[in-house]
Amino acid sequence: MKAYVIDRYNKKPNLRLADLPEPGVAADEVLVRIHAAGVNQLDTKIAEGEFKLILPYRLPLVLGNDLAGVVVRVGAGVHAFQPGDEVYARPDKDRIGTFAEFLTVSQDDLALKPANLTMTEAASLPLVALTAWQALVERANLRPGQKVLVQAGSGGVGTIAIQLAKHLGATVATTASAKNADSLKDLGADIVIDYRTQDFATVLEGYDVVLDSQGPKSVAKSMSILKPGGKVIGIAGPPDPEFAREIGGNPVLKIATRLLSLQTRRTAAKLGVDYSFLFMRASGKQLSEITALVENGTIRPVVDRVYPFASTPEALAHIAKGAARGKIVIAMT
C-alpha cells in the first residue's frame, strides 16, 4: 500500500511516499480501506518531535489521526462490523497512521460513519469531536445555564466545541478574528471576541469553564475569568501529573509533567480554580454518540479545504500555519 511517512523528527517535516505491506488483522481488529483522512495540529507536533517523550513512536512513522473509509476485513472476534460497512475513527494513540491506503483499527475505536456525511466530512470529525466531548461532557460536566469560553473558535476543535456547548445549554463565548464572527455565531457562539482588537480577560468574567487550545500563557490568562471552582481544560499544555498517571508514564515523564505544570497549578490554587490537561483518547462508543448528534443536525462538520492524497505534504504544511477555518482533509479516492 501507499503511505506517507517521516523518517526523523524535524521542525520542517519531510513526508516521504512509501510502499508498505498491507496490515494484517488480529482477532479484535478491523482492516479499513481509507477514503479520507483528517489533518490535525497534532500531526505537525508529532512530526516535529514535540510529543516524543509522551508518544515514543518507532521511526519511520506513518502520520495521521483521523479516518473515514470502508471495512475490508474483520478479525474472528469482531461482530459489530462487517466488510462493506462505512466507518470512521480516531485510532488509538499507539496505532496511528491514517495517511495511508489501509489501516488496522481496534473494533473499540471504530464507529459507523454518519449516514448524512460524505467521507471527507466524516474524516474531519473524530479527533476534534472526541476532544470536545471529553472536555465538555466528560471532564467539565457542562450543564444548562453555565458559561464556557472556547478559545480559537474557528479552529478544528473550536468549531465543534461551540456546537456541542450550545447543545448542552451553555452560554458560549469564543475568540476569533472578526472575519469569522458571523460564521461562529451561526454555529452557536453567543459572544465572539476579536483577539486582534480585544482582550478576552477584560471582557469576560464569572465563567464556569474554559477550553483552551493555545498553551500555557493563554491558560494562565484564562484562569482570571473563572468564578471560584471554575475549570480550565488545556489541550495544548502544559501536561500535568494526572495526565502522566493516566497514560502510565515512566518516572521521567512524571517528573517532567510536574515541573512543566508547576506554575500553572500554583496559579490555579491561588485563584481557587481547577486546571487539567486533556490528551484525548480513542473511543468508538463516544464517537457513536457523536454520530447521533451529527445525524440529527446538532453538530455539523466545518471543512476548510480538501487535498488529494498526492498533496499530503501540502496539507500538513497548511495546517501548520494555524490559519485553517475548521479542518483540512486529505481525500484518498
Q: Please, what is the average pLDDT of the chain?
A: 95
Grid coordinates of 269: 490554587
Q: What is the pLDDT of residue 197?
A: 95
On the CB side of 90, CA atoms within 13 Å amount to 24
Cβ atoms of 148 and 169 within 8 Å: the answer is no
Cα separation, 332 vs 119, in Å, equals 10
The neighbour count for residue 79, using CB atoms within 10 Å, is 8
Cα separation, 232 vs 293, in Å, equals 25
Secondary-structure breakdown of the chain: helix, strand, coil percentages, each rounded to the nearest 5: 35, 25, 40
Query: Which range, of 97-111, 170-184, 315-329, averages the lowest pLDDT?
Result: 315-329
Q: Are strands 191-194 and 303-308 parallel, antiparallel or unpaired?
A: unpaired
Q: 92 — phi, psi (to 5°)?
A: -55, 150
Of residues 149 and 56, more confidently modeled: 149
Mean pLDDT, residues 39-45: 95
Mean pLDDT, residues 236-261: 89
Q: What is the pLDDT of residue 130?
A: 98
pLDDT tier for residue 247 given thresholds of 50, 70 and 90: confident
Cβ atoms of 299 and 126 within 8 Å: the answer is no
- Burial (Cβ within 10 Å: 0-12, 13-18, ≥19) of residue 22: middle
Cβ atoms of 100 and 62 within 8 Å: the answer is yes
pTM over 0.85: yes
The contacts found for 177-185 with CB under 8 angstroms, 24 or more apart, are 180/153, 180/154, 180/325, 183/154, 183/325, 184/153, 184/154, 184/159
Q: What is the pLDDT of residue 12?
A: 86
Query: Which range, of 150-159, 236-245, 280-289, averages the lowest pLDDT?
Result: 236-245
pLDDT digits (tens, 9 = 90+) for 7-22: 999 988 899 999 999 9
Q: What is the DSSP letter of 118?
A: -
pLDDT at 273 over 90: yes
Cα separation, 256 vs 49, in Å, equals 16
Cα separation, 186 vs 199, in Å, equals 22
pLDDT at 51 over 90: no
Domains recognised in the chain with CATH numbers: 2-125+301-331 (3.90.180.10), 127-277 (3.40.50.720)
